[in-house]
Structure 1
Amino acid sequence: MAHTIRDIAAALGAEAVGDLDIVVGRAAEPQMAGPDALALAMDPKYAPGLAKGQARAALLWPGADWQGLGLKAAIFAPRGRLAMAGLSVMMDPGPMIAPGLHPMTVIDPSAEIGEGAAIGPFVTIGAGVMIGKGARIASHVSIAEGVRIGADALILQGARIGAGVTIGDRFICQPGAVVGADGFSFVTPEKSGVEEIRETLGERTGFTAQSWTRIHSLGAVTLGDDVELGANVCIDRGTIRDTVIGSGTKLDNLVHIGHNVQVGRDCLLCGQVGIAGSARIGDRVVMGGQCGVNDNIFVGNDVIAGGATKIFTNAPAGRVLLGYPAVKMETHVEMQKALRRLPRLAARVVELERIVLAPRPDQSGEEDA
């Protein structure tokens, strides 16, 4: 998608200088940029790459000597990644889904599809479904009975939306995501080994045969507005009440949300995060990749958990967490420092033991004298 430097700067609300009528059709790293590309060099460390490329225009840091860098035009971005967000909207044509309903779709007669929809081949839409205007649904998507989806949804290849799910406006769903599978919920007629261990913290009194009885999921899933799901995300339906994801929350690839979980607004859950059943997550929580949250606990507003952190107990609002099990960030750093000192400490202990336990000369003769 081609744009002039003038148009890009206006869309970004940024200052531009030089020949503002230069037209660019793509964005590129500085060293890979040709004359038709806008080079992305929002930090001085990227400046050397401009000499290796052929860009005529670039997105630069404030105060950059754009003429000294050999450019004919420049856009200044005080906050580089924010400018990239706006630029990416302009440069992304989106998936190619033909307008209208593809003849190889299967749509129940009772379903209501909003105006301006684009629905690809091999899509199945169940009874009583309501899909808002401007929806774009790629091939091989299935939407079960009773689903409600708001306006301007983008649902990509192979996604599965289960029965009774409610989704807000501007939903984005990457390929393979599953929303509304049954929760993983089972019980034994007698007290299970897991229940016993939770009570005794590890002690077992005996081993008996156990069989698991399935607890069916009677709830569904509710997603707010502006929710985005990465590829192969799985969100389980609630047992009685709905599993809920708040407006503005973004889930990365392979995130798993268990049954009855409540996730707040504007959270960011990175790849392979797993949240166990009935946990409650506050607003604006950020979890790095492979974080885990125990069942039936609460993580407060504005908590940030670094990658691979495992949260086993309630976390107060605003806490920054690291480690397994999760502790305050500063505590984790001190623990790691202490851990690195252990080999030296062990060597010192060995040396002290050698000195303390070394044989002493017999002093009895001297005492007798």
Structure 2
Amino acid sequence: MKFQLSDIAAALGARLEGRGDLTVTHAAEPADAGPDALALALQPKFAEGLAQGRARAALLYDGADWRALGLEAAIFAPRPRYAMSGLTRAMDAGPDIAPGIHASAVIDPSARIGAGARIGPLVVVGRDVVIGARARIAAHVSIDAGAQIGDDALILPGVRIGHHVQIGDRFIAQPNAVIGGDGFSFVTPEKSRVEAVRETRAQTETDTAQHWERIHSLGTVVIGDDVEIGSTAAIDRGTIRATRIGSGTKLDNMVHIGHNVVIGQDCLLCGQVGIAGSTVLGDRIVLAGRVAVNDNIFVGDDVIAGGGAMIFTNVPAGRVIWGHPAVKMETQVEINKAVRRLPRLFTQVAELQKLVTQSRDKG
């Protein structure tokens, strides 16, 4: 597929200089870009690669001298990386799912499939499922009874959507995500050792019999509009009420959302984040990779947590946190500096002890 530079610039709302009639077929890094590629030189350090490639056109940072870089045309955007979102959207052909319903798909007669939907091989759609218009569902997806999915969904291979899950418009699920599995919720007939430790923060008897009984998940999962779920992510259904994911929120690969969790709008949860049951997250929260959040706490709007943070207690809105346990970012930076100084401090203390001992011996 060919794209004319003038059309790309217009779609991005970006400034075009040079030959607008040039066409490209794809985007590429500068050093790898041939004459039919749009080179992505978003920072000066990337522009150096243009000399190694053969690109005629590039998406450039403001202030770049495109002529001096040997180009015939350039597109400038105030935020080139943001412009990439529009560029990649325009160039993404999406998965190869043929129109209509594949002959090997198993669709319950009671299911309602929206106009223009594409359903691939070996998909299973259960009783009373509702799938919106223009949905694209790739191979080996299963959608259980009573689930509802809005318009323009993109559900990639191997995704599992549990019974009565409700999903809004423009939903994206990457391969093998599981939405609506049972929550991890078990209880003992008598008070368990875990409960005792939580109360006393002390060692308990170790010979007490414990038998775990399952608490079944009677709730569901409710997901808003424009939500994306990464590969192998797992969102557990609620015990009684629903687990909820707000509109605009994006979950990376291998994120786990426990039962009864509520996540607000426009949050970003990076790879391997884990949210324990019944925790509430506000809007616009960013959790970097491998952040863990304790159960039954509240994290306020606009919180940012650095990678690997362990959040054990409520966090007020707007706070930037990091560490194990998570504290204010500036506090954790000071802690890290202090930890790095410990070997030197121990050496100094040892020297002082030696001097004190020598002085005592002489006295």
Work out whether the TM-score is over 0.5: yes
Cα distance in 1 between the residues matched to 2:179 and 2:332: 35
- The equivalent of 2:216 in structure 1 is 216
Counterpart of 1:358 in 2: which secondary structure?
Answer: helix
Q: Residues 361 and 186 from structure 1, CA distance in 2 versus in 1: closer, same or farther, beyond 3 angstroms?
A: closer
- The equivalent of 1:268 in structure 2 is 268
- The equivalent of 1:299 in structure 2 is 299
Amino acid of the residue matched to residue 28 of structure 2?
A: A
Q: Residues 360 and 252 from structure 1, CA distance in 2 versus in 1: closer, same or farther, beyond 3 angstroms?
A: closer
Cα distance in 2 between the residues matched to 1:362 and 1:264: 70
Q: Residues 68 and 362 from structure 1, CA distance in 2 versus in 1: closer, same or farther, beyond 3 angstroms?
A: closer
Q: Residues 201 and 17 from structure 1, CA distance in 2 versus in 1: closer, same or farther, beyond 3 angstroms?
A: same
- The equivalent of 1:111 in structure 2 is 111
Amino acid of the residue matched to residue 194 of structure 1?
A: V
TM-score by length of 1: 0.97
- The equivalent of 1:366 in structure 2 is none
With 30-39 and 345-354 compared, the bigger mean Cα shift is at: 345-354
- The equivalent of 1:15 in structure 2 is 15
Is 1:254 the counterpart of 2:248? The answer is no
Is 1:70 the counterpart of 2:58? The answer is no
Fraction of identical pairs, as percent: 66
Is 1:204 the counterpart of 2:201? The answer is no
Instruction: Give runs of aligned pairs for residues 1-369 of structure 1, distance below 5 A.
Output: 1-358=1-358, 360=360
Q: Say whether the 8 Å CA contact 1:42–1:77 is kept in structure 2.
A: no
Deviations 1:319-366 (A, max 9, x none): 101010101000000000001111111111111111112155777xxx
Counterpart of 2:321 in 1: which secondary structure?
Answer: strand
- The equivalent of 1:367 in structure 2 is none
Q: Say whether the 8 Å CA contact 1:218–1:240 is kept in structure 2.
A: yes
Amino acid of the residue matched to residue 210 of structure 2?
A: Q
Q: Say whether the 8 Å CA contact 1:223–1:246 is kept in structure 2.
A: yes
Cα distance in 2 between the residues matched to 1:43 and 1:360: 65
Amino acid of the residue matched to residue 129 of structure 1?
A: V
Cα distance in 2 between the residues matched to 1:26 and 1:117: 27
Counterpart of 1:295 in 2: which secondary structure?
Answer: coil
TM-score by length of 2: 0.99
Cα distance in 2 between the residues matched to 1:308 and 1:19: 48
Cα distance in 1 between the residues matched to 2:116 and 2:192: 54
Cα distance in 1 between the residues matched to 2:360 and 2:43: 68
Amino acid of the residue matched to residue 5 of structure 1?
A: L
Counterpart of 1:190 in 2: which secondary structure?
Answer: coil
Aligned length: 363
| Greater Rg by CA | 1
Cα distance in 2 between the residues matched to 1:272 and 1:172: 18
Cα distance in 1 between the residues matched to 2:302 and 2:164: 31
Cα distance in 2 between the residues matched to 1:355 and 1:63: 63
Counterpart of 2:347 in 1: which secondary structure?
Answer: helix
TM-aligned CA deviation for residue 202 of structure 1:
2.8
Deviations 1:24-73 (A, max 9, x none): 00000000000000000011111210000000000111121110110000
TM-aligned CA deviation for residue 206 of structure 1:
4.6
Amino acid of the residue matched to residue 343 of structure 1?
A: P
Please list every run of at least 4 consecutive aligned residues from structure 1 whose deviation after the TM superposition is greater than 3 angstroms.
Answer: 359-363
Cα distance in 1 between the residues matched to 2:112 and 2:360: 95
Counterpart of 1:38 in 2: which secondary structure?
Answer: strand
Q: Residues 153 and 348 from structure 1, CA distance in 2 versus in 1: closer, same or farther, beyond 3 angstroms?
A: same
TM-aligned CA deviation for residue 90 of structure 1:
1.1
Cα distance in 2 between the residues matched to 1:329 and 1:342: 20
Counterpart of 1:139 in 2: which secondary structure?
Answer: coil
Counterpart of 1:75 in 2: which secondary structure?
Answer: strand
Unmatched runs of 5 consecutive residues or more in structure 2: none
Q: Residues 362 and 69 from structure 1, CA distance in 2 versus in 1: closer, same or farther, beyond 3 angstroms?
A: closer
TM-aligned CA deviation for residue 205 of structure 1:
3.8
